[in-house]
Structure 1
Amino acid sequence: MLKTSLPPDNHAGLEQAIAAVAAAMADASRVKMLCALMDGRAWTATELSAVADVAPSTASGHLARLVEGKLIACLAQGRHRYYRLAGHDVAVLVEQMMGLSWNRITPPETTAPKAMRDARTCYDHLAGAVAVQIYDDMQAEGWLEEDGSALTLYGREQFLQLGISLSAHSRRKACCACLDWSERRFHLGGEAGAALLIHLESKGWIQRVVGFREVVVTASGRSAVKKHFSR
């Protein structure tokens, strides 16, 4: 019998919880909504119904299921309601599911637009080919621990030189290797990844495309990436 560290009376509860999460995601329309929310913004029910290509009444049922499954949260502002992912852990789950699912299909050529494969948001950090390049260069230059689980002391110093300060007592994981579904390699997640995205945007090195996950890397941004990160 397979042994686990959980007490026997916790097994059933954990198994039911896993099944509930899986059931909440087990619909193509709900998956489309979750993928749309990976841009880190809050969306209205109307916007999400359009993304999922379902009627508003149908979208309401899907959204209720996702809220019940604690995958998304509903935010009320006056008469308006907005929906967003329930947290970073959900974003990580969705991104990992993308990577896992990509290996289950036959992709002679990806149908994902080149702009999305080049640069996009992954909830609150940068993803795509540009982000993978930055991650590879950070590893090569010794900014990251070998498994990407933390910044080295040198890496923290380099972040400070860029003008990015990270909290020493954050509850969130300081750094993590996030699997990029389109590149099949890692990009930078965690607090460091989120802080880097904010920095790139504040410098005008990237520009978000309103309503989409795509991110445009500006000419000055490509020069900056080459200057600060390229080996």
Structure 2
Amino acid sequence: MTIEPRLDIIGAALADPSRSRILCELMDGRAFTNKELACAANVSPQTASAHLKQLEQAGLTASLRNGRHVYHRIANAEVAAILEGLAQLSPTDHLSRPGQIGTDTRQARSCYNHIAGRLGVLMTDRLIALNVLMVRDDTICAGPRYHAFLDEIGIEAPLGSLGKPPAKFCLDWTERRHHISGPLATAIMQKFLEAHWLERRTGSRALNITAEGLDVLECQFGLTQVDIDLVDPV
């Protein structure tokens, strides 16, 4: 008997637009209640519960209880990376149409636990150009200025498995270029949120760049508002 992966189970879990919307909401990186996800998917709480049960059975989400409330989240970072990868297969002709996807979502958003969108891609480019990170045979390693950069921005060296790289490439589904994920990327997003250099947008994965955040991006990454702004093709 040939043993094959049950891709049909994953496919069935992803096939419903409401379940897809729930997963996109959870790619924010935070845990949400059934009611919050029902609102995001524009379905009843009962329907959301059924969707969440199927997603959890497929291994895509996990639930945790805190007091009287049950929260739902993406199962783990590996699932988040796979979902972001699958997004590469989705059509992109809608991205520049007014009302289809917010410009702010394309500009800066959370990709589970790291920064994505144009901002994430530009920050990755600058980290490599500034020798904070180096790329060797498609593997990211710490560069000559890695620890100096961590000190300057106020981040403790992220803990990772022995011998594991501080970051890895994650293909950005709107930019079609790489941003970074992994321990360093997670630490950077946490720092930017805690310092209020970035702020979460209610009901969206979009991240707002604050005035202080723009100063930090220019000082530490050499990025200006002009660099970050999106220019749609005519």
TM-score interval (norm. to shorter): 0.7 to 0.9
Task: Give secondary structure in 1 for the equivalent of 2:133.
Answer: coil
Aligned residue in 2 for 1:5: none
Q: 2:146 pairs with 131, 138, 155, which one?
A: 155
Range with greater deviation from structure 2 (54-63 or 217-226):
54-63
**Cα distance change, pair 220–187 in 1 and its aligned pair in 2 (3 A):** same
TM-score (norm 2): 0.84
Range with greater deviation from structure 2 (204-213 or 166-175):
166-175
> Is 1:134 aligned with 2:126?
no
How far has the Cα of 1:168 moved from its partner?
4.8
How far has the Cα of 1:95 moved from its partner?
1.2
Q: Which runs of 5+ in 1 are unaligned?
A: 1-8
Instruction: Name the amino acid aligned to 1:221.
Output: G
Instruction: Name the amino acid aligned to 1:217.
Output: I
Q: Is the 8 A contact 1:134 1:230 kept in 2?
A: no
Residues 182-230 of structure 1: per-residue CA shift (max 9 Å, x gap): 1111112111111001111222211122342111111121121111112
| Number of residue-to-residue matches in the alignment | 218
**Cα distance change, pair 115–148 in 1 and its aligned pair in 2 (3 A):** farther
Q: 1:42 pairs with 31, 38, 58, which one?
A: 31
Q: Is the 8 A contact 2:171 2:178 kept in 1?
A: yes
Residues 144-170 of structure 1: per-residue CA shift (max 9 Å, x gap): 232353333432442233221224543
Aligned residue in 2 for 1:97: 86
**Cα distance change, pair 213–148 in 1 and its aligned pair in 2 (3 A):** farther
Aligned residue in 1 for 2:228: none
Q: For the residues of structure 1 that align with 2:216 and 2:93, how far apart are their CA atoms?
A: 36
Aligned residue in 2 for 1:106: 93
Q: Is the 8 A contact 2:124 2:179 kept in 1?
A: yes
Q: CA RMSD in A?
A: 2.2
**Cα distance change, pair 196–52 in 1 and its aligned pair in 2 (3 A):** same
Q: For the residues of structure 1 that align with 2:37 and 2:46, how far apart are their CA atoms?
A: 12
Residues 35-57 of structure 1: per-residue CA shift (max 9 Å, x gap): 00011111111111121122222
Q: Where is the helix percentage greater, Structure 1 or Structure 2? A: 1
> Is 1:115 aligned with 2:104?
yes
Aligned residue in 1 for 2:184: 192
Q: For the residues of structure 1 that align with 2:152 and 2:207, how far apart are their CA atoms?
A: 24
Instruction: Name the amino acid aligned to 1:15.
Output: P
Aligned residue in 2 for 1:3: none
Task: Give secondary structure in 2 for the equivalent of 1:22.
Answer: helix
Task: Give secondary structure in 1 for the equivalent of 2:12.
Answer: helix
Aligned residue in 2 for 1:170: 161
> Is 1:213 aligned with 2:205?
yes
